Structure 1
Amino acid sequence: MAQPAHTIRFGLIKASIWQNHTRVGDRHSVTIVRLYKNGDTWKESLRFGRDDLPLVCKVSDLAHSWIFEHSQEERAANSPVA
């Protein structure tokens, strides 16, 4: 199974950043889940409660910053040197 390029976690809220290689360059997508334990098994949910929402905002913002920084690095590495 593919692994995320980067993971950000605050408490039980997790953002996974996925890198997709295309012919025009890399693209990123993000999945955000809430972790919970059912017996001895950790599971993921796409539903968030009221108190989860500030953490969803936080991991979203950090994911955006990570993607932006890595996109800038990729552009700099691929741009011709004058």
Structure 2
Amino acid sequence: MSQPAHKFRFQNLSVTIWRNKNDKGTWYTVNPARSYKAGDETWKETDSLGADDLLIMAELHRMAFAWIAKQMAADATARKAREAADSAD
């Protein structure tokens, strides 16, 4: 399995950002998660949130959006530089 591009965490809540690539380009996806301890004391994750989790998760999503926007700008700059270098050859 590939590594996440980035992860934001606050207490038991997190959002994981994944970078995806194909011949049409790069795009990003985000997976929210809430960690909890199961009855056998093992840690599990779910995407089910309680009412108390919603504002924190909204902030984590906002942070993910800002990170992705900055990364997409960097991706575009790198792509333009590659295209310029390829056309100069």
Q: Please show how residues 27-46 of structure 1 align to structure 2 within 5 Å.
A: 27-38=27-38, 39-46=40-47
User: Which of the pair has more CA radius of gyration?
Assistant: 2
Greater strand fraction, Structure 1 or Structure 2:
1
Q: Where does structure 2 lack aligned partners over 5 or more consecutive residues?
A: 85-89
Query: 1 CA distance for matches of 2:12 and 2:57?
Result: 10
Kindly report structure 1 stretches of 4+ aligned residues shifted beyond 4 Å. Answer: none
Q: TM-score, normalised by structure 1?
A: 0.90
Aligned length: 81
Give the CA deviation at 1:37: 1.0
Q: Where does structure 1 lack aligned partners over 5 or more consecutive residues?
A: none
Identity of aligned residues (%): 33
> Paired residue for 1:2?
2
Query: 2 CA distance for matches of 1:46 and 1:32?
Result: 6
Greater helix fraction, Structure 1 or Structure 2:
2
> Paired residue for 1:66?
67
RMSD: 1.2
